[in-house]
Amino acid sequence: MELRALTPADLTALLDLQGQCYPAALNESAAVMGKRLEGFASTCWGAFSGQHMQAYLLTYPSLLGKISALGADFSSCVKPDALYLHDMAVSSASRGAGLAAKLLLQAELYARHHQLSYLTLVAVQGAEGYWQKQGFVAAASLTATQQRQLASYLPETAFYMHKAIQ
């Protein structure tokens, strides 16, 4: 299994895997995903078996407490303190093979190397238990703006979570 940075050439495979792993209401457009791959290639990774994408993780440097709405462009941050894990997907054929752990480790290594203090994310599809096992905690309270951003993930129940980097 090869783990590498994603490029715009991986867009079709990324969209295919997104469609396999998420309901249509959570699928993001090719235009948005393409912008992410072009603008944040150093923080978007895929796991490949030969030419076949088995998993991906899309992240970007951000700020603790800043929640990205579903379908929104990733925005640059002048002084980031967190790496926002926006989207992770693992193919059904590769579940249980440790790809999610490898991608998460890649994100942690990036965050440490760039002196970021936190990993942050929005958990959907009942994944908050998985993320808790990885050391993430749900935000105790949210501002009205944060709540509006989370509402973009409806009809899913969404939780904003963070993990301090040791």
Distance CA 95, CA 31 (A): 28
pLDDT score, position 54? 96
Q: What is the mean pLDDT of residues 58-68?
A: 94
- Record the tokens describing residue 52, joined without a space: 């076949």
DSSP secondary-structure letter at 108?
H
- Record the tokens describing residue 78, joined without a space: 């002048």
pLDDT band of 72, cuts 50, 70, 90: confident
146 backbone φψ class: left, alpha, beta (φ>0; ψ -120 to 50): alpha
How much of the chain, in percent, has pLDDT values that exceed 70? 99
Q: What tens digit of pLDDT does each residue of 98-114 get?
A: 999 999 999 999 999 99
Question: Alpha helix (H) ranges present in the chain?
Answer: 11-21, 30-39, 99-113, 128-133, 144-151
Assigned architecture for domain 2-164: 3-Layer(aba) Sandwich (3.40)
Distance CA 140, CA 1 (A): 38
